[in-house]
Amino acid sequence: MSTLLTGACPECETDVTTPPMVQGETLSCPECLLTLRVDDISDGTLSLEMVEVTLRDWGQ
Ligand SMILES: [Zn+2]
């Protein structure tokens, strides 16, 4: 049994493998570098959702 969790980036559909995480934790997609939040974990599979990261001060 692997202790790794797997999921797919909702943006670029890259397979993401992570060490054990808990719901609500965030990670970065290795491909598109989007910030993803763990929405649910079911049977070793992560449900990931995008997190909007706003950088309001950037370029203003
Ligand atoms: Zn991605």
- Give 16 Cα–ligand 1 centroid separation in angstroms: 8
- Mean pLDDT score, 54-58: 72
* Choices 3.40.50.970, 3.55.40.20, 2.102.10.10, 2.20.28.160: CATH for 5-50: 2.20.28.160
Distance (Å) from CA 29 to ligand 1 centroid? 5
Residue of 49, 48, 43 lying closest to 4 (CA atoms): 43
Please answer whether residues 38 and 28 qualify as being in contact, where contact means their C-beta atoms are separated by less than 8 angstroms. no
When pLDDT is cut at 50, 70 and 90, the band that residue 57 belongs to is: confident
CA 31 to ligand 1 centroid distance, Å:
5
CA of 50 to the centre of ligand 1 (A): 9
For the chain, the structural domain boundaries read 5-50
CA angle 31, 37, 41 (to 5 degrees): 105
Pairwise pLDDT comparison (7 vs 55), residue with the higher score: 7
The per-residue pLDDT for range 4-47, each reduced to its tens digit, is 999 999 999 999 999 999 999 999 999 999 999 999 999 999 99
pTM, full prediction: 0.80
